[in-house]
Structure 1
Amino acid sequence: MIVDAIQLSNTEFEGKNNTYLLRGDEIALIDTGVSTPQTENALRTGLADHGLTVTDLDHIFLTHLHEDHIGLAGTLQRESGATVHAHSADAPLIARKSEAVDQFRQTQHKFFDRWGMPTTARRELLDFFKHHDKLRGEPADLTTHTDGDVITVGNKQLTVVHTPGHTAGHIGYAFEDKDGTALFAGDALLPHYTPNVGGADVRVSHPLDSYLTTLSRIQDADFERAYPGHRHLITDPAARAQEIIDHHHERSQRVIEVLNKYTAADAWTVSAELFGDLSGVHILHGPGEAYAHLHHLTKNGVLTEDDGAYATKSDTKHHLKDLFNEIE
């Protein structure tokens, strides 16, 4: 199986989206980019560079529900008849089932209240959502999977690896070749950014805990390389996972420093201290990230929480030492 990266234009989110073309006895794509004419043209051109057209596609593998990964899936499926694969937890939102979408939006609004999001910021965020809905494109008919499922692609196999945190149903696809085991990582492991947790999918009940478990699982798997959803190949996935774990430990320390300035503070207040003024999707991601850390620290006995207001305990330093061994 030959793997080729096709980089797609995307000014909407992290940028420099990758779709991966798998060539062998069958033809497959990993993720598809947003549904815009520019991205679709780039994808079609990328296929043509390898002597292929959309009609040659047999499979489309989606890593998670966000529009910069699923936007063209329905369009490509209609033209090719390809089987589109996704995790069962993200599938109802990818397919835009009305009940699932309504429940998701209701849950978001509950968190906006809990985080203390101001009315003006909420209006801007809702306008952003409305404008970006079109980037999701046509919904695809999905074949769903769970952790450990093995999917045959020609004479090769992909193994589903559940990697929640960024979304509830985020998955990677592992495969073996002559150089060892590799992972199509989606947004679970990125070379420059740390994927948002907390805001990116409010259905994840313990977002930071889930994501830290995912990073530990990636380390334990000892992948030779990872193909991320954005930017360049990761040649040492375990080391990159550790860098992100260290980043979150440092951010938790910063959250404690912020809370020491207040008697108690909500996620929006902590977010403002961490990230400053926010716009666009970051109105969601900022307080979501702050909440993920606040919830993690509360769950592990470092903070107290009362109706969305968080405060430090008198023995916070002791608790932090227990939670993060490397903190002095």
Structure 2
Amino acid sequence: MERISLSNSAFEGANNAYLFAGAETTLIDTGDWLSETREQLEAGLANHGVGFADVDRIFLTHWHHDHTGLAGEIQAESGADVYVHRADAPLVEGDRAAWEELFELQEEYFEQWGMPEPDRETLRDRIVGPDETASTPTVTPIEDGDTFTVGSTELEVVHASGHAAGLCLFAVGDEVCSGDALLPVYTPNVGGADVRVDDPLEKYLRALRTVADADYDRAWPGHRDPIDDPAGRAKHIVHHHEERAYRVLDALDRIGPCDTWTVSADLFGDLEDIHILHGPGESYAHLDHLERAGAVVSEGGEYRLAAGVDDELETIDDGRWPLES
């Protein structure tokens, strides 16, 4: 397997595409549809003696543009089969009804979170559907547990919902292509990155525990450099979310009953660009998870601590609230 690094202006850092050359040329993720990315991917493939027309199969970790953008163009040149989890398939194929449903759901959450109108307008300008001038692929849906032969080894699909409804890991022997489920520097956003996910934090914690239990030798993430201790990184991110849960509860304790936008402002301050979506989205994911656990109560879009939780907070000395799966 060869890693091809592709430029990305987003804060997560450079995207990765992964090449398996051989009897059947296979790619995991393709980068976005920008001309610069296309040139980089073509050059990276050429370094290994292949081009777009030689690609037989493409596996996509999830629907976000920076992972799927060139899949349609490659398929148009090569006839490659494109695989993505069934939950993300309509968005990747550019299904207009699926995109409209996503946009409508986002608007519902903007209202529920208490997002000010100017910030909603910023996001409407920032969040776009499929590029009408770009090719979108026809995809084959995949499910958790599906297996494929790649070269001399087996690729197994591991559904890891949370950051996106259809996000999948691809386990290859003792290693794993982790997409955005496990990143080496940033923690993937939950709650805002895909508002279709119900109970997103619980699902993401479950995915992290799956990675920890599998004890892979190495993870190849969707952004930046390989992770040499995937289990350790997964456990670290779980601890990060326990610290964030404590901060959410502490905010409610200090501020009193308030909406998601207010909690987000306390956690992250003023937000710009796509972070206007990610900040309240992550805050909502935690508030929703804590409400399901009985630590928080909500009414009319406002959250408050459940009875007795303020006393429990006073007994915590490590700044972490346990998040049970």
Q: TM-score, normalised by structure 2?
A: 0.94
**Range that drifts further, 148-157 or 25-34:** 148-157
1:193-238, Cα deviation, whole Å (9 max, x unpaired)? 0000000111111000000011011111111111000000011110
SS in 2 for 1:261: helix
The residue number in structure 2 matching 1:140 is 137
Q: Contact 2:245 / 2:321 at 8 angstroms: preserved in 1?
A: no
Cα pair 1:25 1:155 within 8 Å, conserved: no
Give 2:178's match in structure 1, choosing from 162, 185, 194: 185
SS at the partner of 1:260?
A: helix
Q: Is 1:304 aligned with 2:297?
A: yes
Could you tell me which of 225, 237, 251 is aligned with 2:230? 237
Gaps of 5+ in 2: none
Tell me by how many angstroms 1:123 deviates: 0.3
- State percent identity of aligned pairs: 48
Whether the 8 Å contact between 2:94 and 2:130 is mirrored in structure 1 is no
Within 5 A, what are the aligned runs for 1:207-286? 207-286=200-279
The RMSD of aligned alpha carbons is 2.0
In structure 2, what is the Cα distance between the partners aligned to 1:298 and 1:325? 14
Q: State the distance in 2 between where 1:310 and 1:214 align.
A: 27
Match of 1:199? 192
CA distance in 1, matches of 2:282, 2:154: 35
Call closer, same or farther: CA 1:67–1:142 in 2, change over 3 Å: same
Match of 1:12 among 3, 10, 13: 10
Alpha-carbon deviations, 1:269-309, whole Å to 9, x = none? Answer: 11111111111111110100000000011110001111221
On the 8 A contact 1:265/1:311 being kept in 2, the answer is yes
Using the TM superposition, name which of 252-261 and 283-292 deviates more: 252-261
Contact 1:72 1:136 survives alignment (8 Å): no
Query: Structure 1 residues 250 and 139, CA, compared in 2 at 3 Å: closer, same or farther?
Result: same
Q: How many residues align?
A: 320
Shift of 1:247: 0.3
Shift of 1:319: 6.3
* Structure 1: runs of 5 or more not aligned: none
1:266 and 1:136 map into 2 onto residues whose CA distance is 39
Stretch deviating more after TM superposition (22-31 or 140-149) = 22-31
**2:159 alignment partner in structure 1:** 162
Q: Does 1:31 align with 2:36?
A: no
Aligned-residue offset at 1:317: 5.0
User: What is the alpha-carbon distance in structure 1 between the residues aligned to residue 292 and residue 134 of structure 2?
Assistant: 38
Rounded to whole Å, the distance in 2 between the matches of 1:247 and 1:102 is 34
The one-letter code sitting in structure 2 at the alignment partner of 1:147 is: D
Secondary structure at the aligned position of 1:64 is classed as coil
The correspondence for 2:285, drawn from 288, 292, 310, is 292
Question: Which of structure 1's runs of 4+ aligned residues deviate more than 6 A?
Answer: 318-323
